[in-house]
């Protein structure tokens, strides 16, 4: 798996990405990757330290002739969105990401890839390891828990860095520089309900939405990608309006900052509506596929 990734160009970048993706690094569970980064810097003979919240800072002196240049802070975050398909057996606490080359793309087998922000981290690692790239003094800042709270960046104390320019390598485009940041908000909604026994004249169904691309709820939200929870709600509402559908269980999505790519519901309808319900759901499913045919591989 890693051999084909390591053969990609530029090799220093892809080799560092392969090294990094072999280390579990789910948000709020970054202990292993923190140790990995500290060990990486120490083996290079560079100044390395971890702050009180878990951010890792590695400092590299300027190359000869560039000692008078402004020190550059290069920053990326260590954690990744840890999401997997329901049918994929994978433990983000113990396993590294299983990558493969698919044409012009690098993908992961049934899980998120971790390119956000693994490629930023790998880029900085390659520069820190490089012996032939001229550069001013570098302060490499690797923050934690960006995906679920920004607690690493928020907990960074003043005085640890001296650089005059900060480059954040968490972006989608390698030929653009962005200024500013989008905001976000979390909503938790709860409601009580009374359970009841399923009547004998009801017929049970399991409805599944799967095969969607998913994506980052910040960077990809404008692309119009399929949202498994929204699609499921559309199917359930149609079933309720036309066939008196009742819900037993519903479960969709897995992370607050990822567009849901899978959803499942267990429902019940009147037995007499079996044939027409099947036909109506199949018709609506084809309509939804048609709507998403240019965006989703379903």
Query: CB–CB of 226/212 below 8 Å?
Result: yes
Q: Is 87 a catalytic residue?
A: no
pLDDT tens for the 298 residues of the chain, in order: 568 999 999 999 999 999 999 999 999 999 999 999 999 999 999 999 999 999 999 999 999 999 999 999 999 999 998 988 888 999 999 999 999 999 999 999 999 999 999 999 999 999 999 999 999 999 999 999 998 888 999 999 999 999 999 999 998 777 777 776 666 677 888 999 898 888 888 999 999 999 898 888 877 888 899 999 999 999 999 999 999 999 999 999 888 888 998 999 999 999 999 999 999 999 999 999 999 999 887 6
Q: Where in the chain is the domain with CATH 3.40.630.10?
A: 2-168
Cα angle 296, 170, 120 (rounded to 5 degrees) comes to 100
| Known active-site residue 175 | no
Q: Which residue's entry shows tokens 């007499």?
A: 272
Cα separation, 79 vs 145, whole angstroms: 6
How far, in Å, CA of 200 to CA of 270, rounded? 9
Of 70, 73, 87, 77, nearest in space to 33 by CA: 77
Looking at residue 37, its pLDDT comes to 98
Whether omega before 131 lies within 30 degrees of 0, making that bond cis, reads: no
- Other C-beta atoms closer than 10 Å to the C-beta of 182 total 7
Neighbours of 2 (CB within 10 A): 17
Numbered ranges of CATH 3.30.70.360 in the chain: 202-291
Nearest CA-CA partner of 163 in 55, 74, 76, 71: 71
Best CATH choice for the domain 202-291 from the list 3.30.70.1070, 3.30.70.1400, 1.10.3720.10, 3.30.70.360:
3.30.70.360
Q: How far apart are alpha carbons 17 and 47 in whole angstroms?
A: 22
Q: Tell me the whole-structure pTM to 2 decimals.
A: 0.70
pLDDT for res 298: 60
Superfamily of domain 2-168: Zn peptidases (3.40.630.10)
Q: How far is CA 74 from each of CA 120, 142, 153, 154, rounded to the nearest angstrom?
A: 9, 8, 13, 17
Catalytic residue among 139, 146, 147, 262: 146
Which listed residue (79, 139, 145, 147) is catalytic?
79
């Amino acid at each position: 798996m890693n051999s084909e990734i390591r053969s990609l160009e530029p090799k220093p970048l892809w080799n560092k990405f392969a090294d990094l993706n072999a280390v579990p690094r789910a948000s709020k569970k970054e202990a292993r990757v923190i140790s990995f980064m500290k060990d990486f810097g120490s083996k290079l003979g560079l100044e390395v330290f971890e702050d009180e919240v878990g951010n890792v800072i590695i400092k590299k002196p300027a190359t000869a002739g560039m000692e008078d240049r402004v020190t550059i802070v290069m920053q990326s975050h260590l954690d990744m969105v840890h999401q997997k398909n329901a049918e994929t057996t994978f433990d983000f606490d113990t396993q590294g990401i299983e990558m493969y080359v698919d044409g012009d793309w690098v993908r992961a087998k049934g899980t998120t890839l971790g390119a956000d922000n693994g490629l930023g981290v790998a880029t900085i690692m390659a520069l820190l390891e490089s012996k032939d790239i001229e550069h001013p003094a570098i302060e490499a800042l690797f923050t934690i828990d960006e995906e679920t709270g920004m607690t690493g960046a928020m907990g960074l104390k003043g005085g640890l860095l001296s650089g005059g320019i900060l480059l954040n390598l968490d972006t989608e485009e390698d030929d653009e520089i962005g200024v500013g940041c989008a905001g976000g908000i979390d909503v938790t909604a709860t409601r009580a309900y009374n359970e009841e026994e399923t009547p004998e004249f009801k017929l049970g169904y399991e409805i599944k939405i799967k095969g969607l691309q998913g994506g980052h709820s910040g960077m990809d939200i404008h692309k119009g990608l399929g949202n498994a929870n929204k699609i499921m709600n559309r199917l359930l509402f149609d079933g309720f309006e036309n066939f008196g559908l009742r819900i037993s269980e519903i479960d969709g999505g897995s992370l607050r900052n990822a567009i849901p790519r899978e959803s499942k519901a267990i429902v019940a309808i009147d037995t007499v509506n079996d044939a027409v319900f099947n036909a109506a759901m199949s018709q609506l499913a084809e309509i939804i596929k048609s709507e998403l045919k240019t965006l989703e591989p379903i």
